[in-house]
Amino acid sequence: MSVTVGIHDLAVATAGHTLALDALAAYNGTDPGKYRVGLGQDQMSVPGPDEDIVTMGAAAARAVLDRHGADGIRTLLLATESGVDQSKAAGVPVHALLGLPSTCRVVEFKQACYSATAALQAAAGLIARDRSERVLVIAADVARYELDSAAEATQGAGAVAMLVTADPAIAVLEHATGIHTADVDDFWRPNDSPTAVVDGKLSVEAYLDGIVRAWDDYRAHGGSPIDQIDRFCHHQPFTRMAVKAHRRLAEHVGVALDEGLIDVTTGYNRRIGNSYTASLYLALAALLDGADDLDGARVGMFSYGSGAVSEFFSLVVQPGYRSALRGAETEALLAARTPVDVARYRELHAGAALDSRFDVDTPVDSRGPFRFAGIRGRARRYAAN
């Protein structure tokens, strides 16, 4: 008998500071419309000195555990492309901060912005084998580019935690999936660089190529025809990219697709900025929180990670899903961020790269439940606030 698997709960976290992109535009002499309209971005979350992917990921996951407890969670999968260690999974300190049992495997997934989808699919496989298991999937990233670079306005920071179970309350993961992989140097971060290397034009081309190829594979593997998909969520390195993806898909299949079907999905990403692995699932959270009744709706999901791996899959929203949502919590979280000016933002940016050869205590800055406490003996240390 097949097992119905999907997202039972979903919670969001972000960094404690925010920079208005109008202020960045004024600082660097850019027309603010280039950011607000051209990129589709209004703000970006900026981590404090005691925040990183571990603290954000643990904060999002704690909300899930506070509601559901840890019973049956034997796996924690953390997806990120801004890892804090070349060997140890960032999920291990998350596991410790959350007080999860020792009988819980922890693995880090990496393939640019795509890897949270790989983690979700892996979770579904584990539950198909044993429907009593519950898997905690966390996507957490800090997007950081060089100051004064073309990509600077697309920075951000955020995390999403999902509890993946049998008979989920929010959305069922359908079996069909479409995949496309190509070796493309559109975006990467060398081991010796704290910031990414980007070929913006090539990245857009690879993204748009990925959606049509993944779509074709989705249909070849039994995926629903376009007229049976009610809503769409596309990966959003900047929210205007979702519009480009939607138009390319419509052109490819030869139908008119209402761009209003994706407008509501940009609500959180416009304010958080790029969160890499978490971006697609922030779009899903925005859709669930902001759309009219979605009971029974099929949502097409396009996941893209530079380098490049793409996947198109679909979810079916479950009746009564609204009782499991956290829209008010997410709005309160975003409103609680501390606005910073450009000078303070640049200070935080400059201080983010720490040399592990030197012990350091980070100042208490964030109001979240967990903090990065500093470096001791070349190892990162974390604590509860």
Q: Is 113 a catalytic residue?
A: yes
Among the options 51, 95, 108, 113, which is catalytic? 113
In the structure encoding, which two tokens stand for residue 261, read together?
């079907």
Distance (Å, whole) CA 257 – CA 266: 17
Which string of DSSP letters, residue by residue, matches 224-286? PPGGG--EEEE--SSTHHHHHHHHHHHHHHTS---THHHHGGGTTHHHHB--GGGHHHHHHHH
Among the options 81, 108, 174, 311, which is catalytic? 81
Q: Is 235 a catalytic residue?
A: yes
Among the options 17, 235, 246, 349, which is catalytic? 235
- Cα-Cα-Cα-Cα torsion 113, 324, 128, 59, nearest 10 degrees, comes to 50
Helix or strand run (H / E) with residue 12: strand 5-14
First-to-last CA distance in the chain? 46
Burial label for 73, CB within 10 Å (0-12, 13-18, 19+), is buried
Distance (Å, whole) CA 14 – CA 294: 26
Q: Is 233 a catalytic residue?
A: no
Q: Is 147 helix (H, G, I), strand (E, B) or coil?
A: coil
Reference 286, options 267, 262, 258; nearest CA is 267
Q: Where in the sequence numbering do the catalytic residues fall?
A: 81, 113, 235
